[in-house]
Amino acid sequence: MKRRKFTNKFKTKVVLEALSGRYTVQELARKHELHANQISRWKAHFLENAEAVFEKESEKDKEIDEQEKEKLFKVIGQQKVEIDFL
């Protein structure tokens, strides 16, 4: 039997269904053809890392912002030169 891979989108969907309380973990396991323990692990992992959604910008985001800022400064400088010329 080949091991199945699940996308993050699918895992999130299953976890949100589990958190909604509309279905039991066993019902969700049957519905999505998963083991109930797998859903419980995904749910625990999701809850452990939920605070990361509200953390400040990451270093990568800051770097992108700096690049964007430099780009805009160049455009402003070019426009100023054109206005002064006219």
Give pLDDT, residue 58.
Answer: 63
Cα 60 from Cα 50, distance rounded (Å): 20
* Higher per-residue confidence, 3 vs 11: 11
For 41, 66, 75, 77, 85, the CA distances from 72, given in Å and listed in that order, are 45, 10, 5, 9, 20
Q: HSE-up of 15 (CA within 13 Å, CB side)? A: 19
> pLDDT tens digit string along 36-67?
999 999 999 999 988 887 776 666 666 677 77
Give pLDDT, residue 85.
Answer: 84
Contact 12, 19 (CB under 8 A): no
pLDDT bin (cut points 50, 70, 90) of residue 27 is very high
Give me the chain's average pLDDT, please: 87
Cα 75 from Cα 81, distance rounded (Å): 10
